[in-house]
Structure 1
Amino acid sequence: MPLDERPCNYEFPFMLARGTDYTPERPPLDMMGRKKAPGDTSRLWAWLEQAAEGAHGAVLALDTLLYGGIVPSRLHGMHEEQVLERLTRLRGLKADHPGLRIYAFQLIMRCPQYSSAEEEPDYYEEWGREIFRKGFISHRKELGLAADDELAELEDIDLRLPPDVLDDYLGRRAINAAINRAALELVAEGVIEFLIIPQDDSAPYGYTARDQEEIRGRIADLELELRVYMYPGADEVGCTLLARMVNTDTGRIPLIYPRLSSLQGAFVTPLYEDRYFYESLKYQVLAAGGLIVPSAAEADMVLLVNMPGDTMSEAAVQRQPMAGYDVLRNIAELAEFGGYMLFHEGKPVAVADVGYANGGDLKLMRLLRQKNMLFSLAGYAGWNTSSNTLGTVLAQSMLFLHYGRTAGHLNFLALRYAEDVCYCSLVRTEMNNGVVESMGLSKFMLDGQRGQAAALIRTKLNQAIKERINGEDGRVEITDCFMPWNRTFEVGLAVSYHP
């Protein structure tokens, strides 16, 4: 049950599952809704109950079953009792199919730091920044950490922020948090075998952090710390839970040795997240069913981790000189170590490209290509947030340990290079820097999923792939290109690998 209809949620886990011993099923796309329009929850539940007949396991995005998707979970007008009634249907599902192993995830509602109604209620366009700052400063005030200028800012926000706007926002947050806690009861009862509570766009203080505190306390009360994980992420969790199911069913615990490009990288707090990188890495490996080990010799796989030496930046600005990237890390050593482990030691090697947010590292890609490593890797990802990348590459590479260098594996690698590197870091940046405006469009409103903008993007992608990816060990062919939400932020691609 995908989190929504975007390819990262609807396609990625399904693509990975097709390369396993399982026969994956997912609901038809027309049930899933689109962006702010919720999916048809009645049809989705009916589909789930039918698909559960004879099924071994289920990976369920509860936000889709409850609200119709990730964005509708931030917009709904339901009462707590209505949502709770939907959630408790899982008891009946488990009772009817006691052998069904349910792996589920349910988000803590996010609170973006900026004013935009793109994926939030309409009033967030005007009041989003103020809502975030009110929660952020109020939390710090409660902890005795707020500075005088923050307290003055809070007073100003209280004077300007309309009470009905705040009431609507906090009312929905309260409902969603109550349902988060109710899901824990289903874990305690054995209805849900394993639950992830990911945090989309998190911060160390504010409404989301407060909700975390309450949920963390309830997890402890129910003694569920080994069956419920809570950490930054969202769109990668379907892949993570698929990997966990495969590892659990086979009784295998993959041992991962992470090799970081920067000594200080472990202590960088990635953009849009709330903790040191290494703490999230540990959770991501655990959630997928693996463990971190201290040396390559004892590992099943080496994970090359590309990190900045200090503050993380957006991929769109990576061509600017920055000490955190040019001085305080060493990606040459990372590539050389990976090449040695791969070609001389015969150790599977994967790459978590989290040097930047929202796109792959062009310098690292150049080095990996020079060493002919691209299509010999166990996995690669470099998209969106650090946790989105980690969950994706860990799932792919752990499945590689089970099934090897299949055609599906190579196609997924090809997709990651086309999307994460060539689109996110190159073509999207170019389109957003005046190209879409010259077409009379905007990056938030294109001319349809398959309009002139999509056609131009495909042309530019083909050129970028030719220049940046294709080489002696393989080439990538685009077979489809569309814009799922009619904006430039994400692209829908179908690609194939050719030796």
Structure 2
Amino acid sequence: MRSLTALLGAAALVATSFVAAPAAQAAPPGPAGAPVSLGEIALVPLDDRPFPAVTPLEIAAAGGHTAIAPPTEDLGEFLTHGDPDAVGQWWRENAGSADASVVALPMLAYGGLVASRTCATDLATAQDRLGVLEEVKDEDPDQAIYAFDVIQRLTIEPTSGYPGMYSGPVRRWAELMDQVETLGMEELRAEYEEVAASIPEDIRADYLCARARNHEINREMIQAAAAGTIDFLVLGQDDASAFGPHRAEKEQLAALIAELGVGDRVKIYPGADVLGALLTAKLVVERLGVDPSVAVEWSRTPGTEWTAPYQDIPYGDLVDEYIATLGAHRTDAPDADVLLMANTSGPGFLDPFVDRIAAEVARGRLVAVGDDAVAGVVDPELYSLLTPRLDVAELGGWSGWNVGIALSQSVVRAALLQAGGTLAAGAGPRDALVPRQRQQVLTDAANAHLRLLLEEQIHTGLYRNNVRDSVRQYAVSHGDDPQYMTVVFDEANTLAVERTDPLAQAFFAEEFAGVPIRIGSDGRREHTVTVSELTSLELRLGWPRYQELDVFPEVALTDAPPVQPVNLALLPAHVSVLPGAGVPLELTAVLRNDTVRQVFATVSVSAPDGWTVPGPTRVVLQPFQVLEVPVPVTTAELAPDSSAVVEVLLTPRNSSAASATTAVGAAWRNVALASSGASAQASGQWNQYAADRAIDGNTASTASRWISPAGLPQWLEVTFAGPEPVDTVSLYQYAGYLLSDYTISALVDGTWVEVASATANTDVTPVHDFETVVATALRLEVTGSRDGQVRLYELEATCRAVGACE
């Protein structure tokens, strides 16, 4: 296995040099002896996985810095614990030459995150190993040491062999322990004792020993922060739920922080793998001497009302904690340096969210996508909607199920762009960089940023959504444990690589190749590079389990002009109008010049016959200018459920043309939408799938359904904002679980009137037409379904009769 230093040190210092097209040859070097980065950070990772070990190095590089890390062989691998003594010695020897350090305390104390979950290391040994903190601090009191520890998660490693086979019972036992022993819920004692008895005593004893030891180390690290040995400390809550021993531990640690008065430099919040990246980004931002601003918008459920899976505080609070840790500040200003578009779960559809992302990217904003709606992966619905609208390479970050990565990446990028021509060569006696050296730093940083985007999307997007299940099934079908493969690991690794690589190659070609990237100012002028090619891509299962794919891409950049120098978008991308006579549309073409050159171009508009469009317009775009051109269009008469396209064509002089479209659809007004003022109630709900999810406009997402409890009949009642003419009801159902027997009634003048019914229905989306009624509500009563439950994406109510729907 190649060392992290070999994999990324070389990439940060050499491979990111921009290349001249078409050959991938390095640009001429800067003056002899010139610094290649703005400073060096010594990193002690949590373990050898990409998130804890590789991502912080890339974050540093994306901020113009270099990070160094111990040899990979000292970090261990999964159940083989790292060598904390060797890692501590590495840090002791290398910290003095670095400008600052980011330290994972579980690696120094126990040998990594997995090692911290067992009691193989006693308290005295852990304390002795952590003495390296004082040694390094005494050697250089002015060097910043940012450290993090972890509040132990609820359970142990889930494997099919001993002791991992007890991971589920251990989790439940830990939750009950808190509820019964701490909160006094005696009604749960019988279950608590029963679950405890099902777990071997040695497993319970080891679990409790590890928790007690870790808690004491956490206390001592808070005291180390109070003494000045640690400059900034984060105690990250690993996977958690509402109840468990961690709840009381957090309360005790928070009390100690308050008692010692170190709340400004000791934080507690959810996270484990992400903490190294956050603290590395924090150091970079502080060293650049800037104050980035971050605006936040939510996709569906506001962050204040939603808690992400395996976390124990509202998502909005977590985002605020991450922003503050990074040294940035939250703002609602429309010109914030970073716009975080946070994808949460819940009712609603993603089109408006995607429209916002695409529009702001088109206008040149640095947009980060925090994608935590679906645990562990890029949200497939978001991916399918967003990737046709923009190139992923244009984003400031996109992380599947780890908003901290997207935030760290985008804030660091914003900080470097904000620092611009004021870049210096870091602390110490080094001279400021000359413009050519600054340009090289900016180019290398852009390359690291692109690698981060690729690594994240290939891992949590392509692999986890398209390949991971097949790797798991392969292990199971060959009698191996997918959580700890000992029989067919090599074959499973080959399967993972062979199926992911073509997806990754196609993804790069579609979303990165040829995209111009603005890298910032060297003090004299702005620069742009163009993504040229994916020069290499190393893929492998890092641990002998199916969950994670290690991804190491190398990207070549060129200073040659892009094929399309102007980015073109037509906003909004989708317009819905009522069927019938022509409708005026106010569209906007957004033109963004991504080059240092002045661009002369012509904007022309096309639409179906009979539509009115403006004539060609000549424009001049200055370097990096964003220009918005009004596109007034009037439709011809549109038939119900028809659609058409308006296209804008941009023809720059001596360059390839670019085009963008808006889809115009004719749809009846749905008066049952919550966005139209409707509300819903039902006979009951299963889990979080409440009645209001059937009137949120989302007809496809499994996260946006009404699901009833078991047992029929069940009913759904939708109340309109006021009296509405209705003559059609459409039901968007879940294929395979159709509603077979039901009635639909309308509330007319205070009386329920049956307007439609079905017996033995076989349609996935039945449409029921009836005589127009003016109603204030609709009621669906289900008496037959496949399994005695109701699953319904959406109830849609419209009026379509000519002359009766005014």
Indicate whether 1:208 and 2:237 are aligned: no
Aligned to 2:328: 290
Contact kept in structure 1, 2:537 and 2:553, CA below 8 Å: yes
> Which of 400, 405, 417 in structure 1 is aligned with 2:413?
400
Greater shift, 421-430 or 165-174, is seen at 165-174
Aligned to 1:426: 466
**Over the residues paired in the alignment, what is the CA RMSD in angstroms?**
2.5
Indicate whether 1:261 and 2:319 are aligned: no
Aligned to 2:342: 305
Contact kept in structure 1, 2:478 and 2:488, CA below 8 Å: no
Aligned to 2:204: 166
Measured at CA, do residues 380 and 472 of structure 1 come closer, stay the same or move farther in structure 2, by a change above 3 Å? Answer: closer
Aligned to 1:444: 483
Indicate whether 1:462 and 2:501 are aligned: yes
Counterpart Cα distance in 2 of 1:306 and 1:469: 23
Indicate whether 1:413 and 2:453 are aligned: yes
Measured at CA, do residues 171 and 438 of structure 1 come closer, stay the same or move farther in structure 2, by a change above 3 Å? Answer: closer
Q: Which has the higher contact order (CA 8 A, sep 6+)?
A: 1
> Which of 214, 226, 250 in structure 2 is aligned with 1:176?
214
Indicate whether 1:190 and 2:208 are aligned: no
Of all paired residues, the percent bearing the same amino acid is: 26
Indicate whether 1:229 and 2:267 are aligned: yes
Q: Which amino acid aligns with 1:424?
A: R
Counterpart Cα distance in 2 of 1:16 and 1:193: 20
Q: Which amino acid aligns with 2:195?
A: I
* Structure 1 position 147, deviation (Å): 6.7
Give the secondary structure class of the aligned counterpart of 1:24: strand
Aligned to 2:571: none
Counterpart Cα distance in 2 of 1:3 and 1:266: 30
Counterpart Cα distance in 2 of 1:472 and 1:162: 51
Contact kept in structure 2, 1:359 and 1:420, CA below 8 Å: yes
> Which of 58, 69, 72 in structure 1 is aligned with 2:112?
69
* Structure 1 position 444, deviation (Å): 2.5
Measured at CA, do residues 472 and 30 of structure 1 come closer, stay the same or move farther in structure 2, by a change above 3 Å? Answer: closer
* Structure 1 position 494, deviation (Å): 1.6
- Once the two structures are superposed, residues 4-45 of structure 1 have per-residue CA deviations (whole angstroms, 9 ceiling, x without a partner) of 011222211112223333332111112112222222222211
Counterpart Cα distance in 1 of 2:209 and 2:537: 45
Aligned to 2:403: 390
Indicate whether 1:381 and 2:374 are aligned: no
Contact kept in structure 1, 2:118 and 2:206, CA below 8 Å: no
Q: Which amino acid aligns with 1:354?
A: D
Give the secondary structure class of the aligned counterpart of 1:370: coil
Counterpart Cα distance in 2 of 1:105 and 1:151: 35
Counterpart Cα distance in 1 of 2:58 and 2:453: 11
- Once the two structures are superposed, residues 411-442 of structure 1 have per-residue CA deviations (whole angstroms, 9 ceiling, x without a partner) of 2212222111101111112333x334445644
Counterpart Cα distance in 2 of 1:350 and 1:449: 38
Q: Would you say how many aligned residue pairs link Structure 1 and Structure 2?
A: 468
Counterpart Cα distance in 2 of 1:400 and 1:301: 9
Measured at CA, do residues 20 and 448 of structure 1 come closer, stay the same or move farther in structure 2, by a change above 3 Å? Answer: farther
Measured at CA, do residues 407 and 165 of structure 1 come closer, stay the same or move farther in structure 2, by a change above 3 Å? Answer: closer
Greater shift, 434-443 or 207-216, is seen at 434-443
Structure having the larger proportion of residues in strand: 2
Greater shift, 371-380 or 72-81, is seen at 72-81
Counterpart Cα distance in 2 of 1:59 and 1:93: 12
Indicate whether 1:487 and 2:545 are aligned: yes
> Which of 47, 52, 55 in structure 1 is aligned with 2:95?
52
Contact kept in structure 1, 2:151 and 2:238, CA below 8 Å: yes
Q: Which amino acid aligns with 2:340?
A: L
Contact kept in structure 1, 2:153 and 2:239, CA below 8 Å: yes
Higher Rg: 2
> Which of 435, 441, 457 in structure 1 is aligned with 2:474?
435
Measured at CA, do residues 30 and 99 of structure 1 come closer, stay the same or move farther in structure 2, by a change above 3 Å? Answer: same
TM-score by length of 1: 0.87
Q: Which amino acid aligns with 1:455?
A: T
- Once the two structures are superposed, residues 222-252 of structure 1 have per-residue CA deviations (whole angstroms, 9 ceiling, x without a partner) of 1111211111111111110011111122332
- Once the two structures are superposed, residues 223-282 of structure 1 have per-residue CA deviations (whole angstroms, 9 ceiling, x without a partner) of 111211111111111110011111122332221111111144542221111122111111
- Once the two structures are superposed, residues 27-76 of structure 1 have per-residue CA deviations (whole angstroms, 9 ceiling, x without a partner) of 11121122222222222111111101232100000110110111111124
Give the secondary structure class of the aligned counterpart of 1:381: strand
Measured at CA, do residues 472 and 355 of structure 1 come closer, stay the same or move farther in structure 2, by a change above 3 Å? Answer: closer
- Once the two structures are superposed, residues 89-136 of structure 1 have per-residue CA deviations (whole angstroms, 9 ceiling, x without a partner) of 311210111121000001112122x88357xx943523x444333332
Counterpart Cα distance in 2 of 1:449 and 1:292: 48
Counterpart Cα distance in 2 of 1:300 and 1:199: 29
Q: Which amino acid aligns with 1:392?
A: I
* Structure 1 position 170, deviation (Å): 1.2
Structure 2 spans left out of the alignment, 5+ residues: 1-43, 418-444, 514-532, 558-806
- Once the two structures are superposed, residues 459-490 of structure 1 have per-residue CA deviations (whole angstroms, 9 ceiling, x without a partner) of 22134336666426537676211111111111
Contact kept in structure 1, 2:392 and 2:511, CA below 8 Å: no
* Structure 1 position 395, deviation (Å): 1.1
Q: Which amino acid aligns with 2:336?
A: A
Contact kept in structure 2, 1:465 and 1:476, CA below 8 Å: no
Contact kept in structure 2, 1:2 and 1:64, CA below 8 Å: yes
Contact kept in structure 2, 1:31 and 1:40, CA below 8 Å: yes
